[in-house]
Amino acid sequence: MSNYYPVLVLIGLLISVISAYRKAPFYNYIGIQITIYGLLKSAALIMPPLPAQVIVMYVAMSLFAFLIYFSIREETFRAFLEPMRSVLADRDKKLQRVVLVFIAIPLFAGYITYAKVRPSYKPPVTGRIVHPEPPQEIDFRGKTISILGLENPLRKETDRLKDHLEAGKKIYYQNCFFCHGDDLDGRGLFEQAFNPPPLPFRGTDTIAQLPESFVFWRIAKGWKALPPGSHPWDSAMPSFEDFLTEDQIWQVILFIYEATGNKPRTWE
Ligand code: HEC
């Protein structure tokens, strides 16, 4: 659907240019308003898409701006109102008047009401999925990593485990503690700033329930890993694939399990 909005921008521009040329301020306004609406809706230009309330606000603000602009000079204001006055008052516009008042406006009001009460099959916003199904494989810096059955490769390096844990601790306190907390309890400095809040790693609800491959995927991809219903507004978890190497992510994973005394779920 969003792909059609740039076309709306072109239509709006066309209307406003023609009506400016023909000195018809009302249609000029309609054209510019369509252009503004199309631009705000163009997903190609604005990512993530703007919430509907923000769009309504912009459209209302542009209406006020135009009213102020057109009312600076009396002639332009009169010309702006002319099409509305003419439809409502001129004798020869009876047909248009009947269509507008008895058909177009009731239909529009009916549609708005219908759109409001129509049952929606979208999941409710509150039903946020905390632990979505992970994909079979992910792309990590151009390399395909298979998530299914994947285990932390560093656990096999028993002689270097201490170094890996030490490195993981450093990575944690350089990258994660602002949000996930000094004590890995999800109560970092920024905890209050995010909704949903950063998850704690202590306790049995989060990483204790998850295989390490899931945790790897979440750290590598961050909010982008969540299903469409859960982002873009629904997570502040950054994606670390551009900042940490594969080994560094496995190191910080070793650390968050070790420090909380949790054991990852295994694939059996
Ligand atoms: C800007 C704040 C922020 C930073 C920095 C951050 N996180 Fe997160 N993290 C979050 C939020 C918010 C969530 C919960 C929402 C979600 O699941 O995306 C989360 C969720 C997670 C999860 C999912 C847990 C689960 O049970 O599904 C993991 C794992 C995780 N973070 C690990 C890390 C690690 C490791 C780091 C550091 C390398 C880190 N995070 C840095 C905010 C942050």
Chain segment 129-157, per-residue pLDDT in tens: 778 888 899 999 999 999 888 999 999 99
pLDDT of residue 185: 94
At 227, give phi and psi (nearest 5°): -65, 160
Counting from 1 in the atom list of ligand 1, the atom nearest the Cα of 209 is 26
| Ligand 1 residue neighbourhood (C-beta within 6 Å) | 131, 175-176, 178-180, 190, 194, 196, 198-199, 206-207, 215, 218-219, 223, 226, 235-238, 240, 252
Give the distance (Å) from ligand 1 centre to CA of residue 254.
Answer: 15
Q: Are the C-beta atoms of residues 170 and 231 closer than 8 Å to each other?
A: no
Give bridge partners of residue 265 from the DSSP assignment.
Answer: 211
For atom 32 of ligand 1, the residue with the nearest CA is 219
* Predicted local confidence at residue 52, as pLDDT: 80
* Ranges for all domains in the chain classified under CATH 1.10.760: 137-260
Q: What share of the chain is helix, strand, coil (3-state, %, to 5)?
A: 60, 5, 35
- Written as six digits, the tokens of 77 are 């204001």
Token output for 74: 């009396």
Was domain 137-260 assigned CATH 1.10.760? Answer: yes
How high is the pLDDT of residue 43?
Answer: 62
Q: pLDDT truncated to tens, each residue of the chain (268 aa)? A: 446 888 999 999 999 999 989 888 899 999 999 999 988 887 656 666 777 888 889 989 999 998 999 889 898 899 888 988 998 889 898 999 999 999 999 999 999 999 888 887 765 555 667 788 888 999 999 999 998 889 999 999 999 999 999 999 999 999 999 999 999 999 999 988 888 899 999 988 899 989 999 999 999 999 888 877 655 567 889 999 999 999 999 999 999 999 999 999 886 6
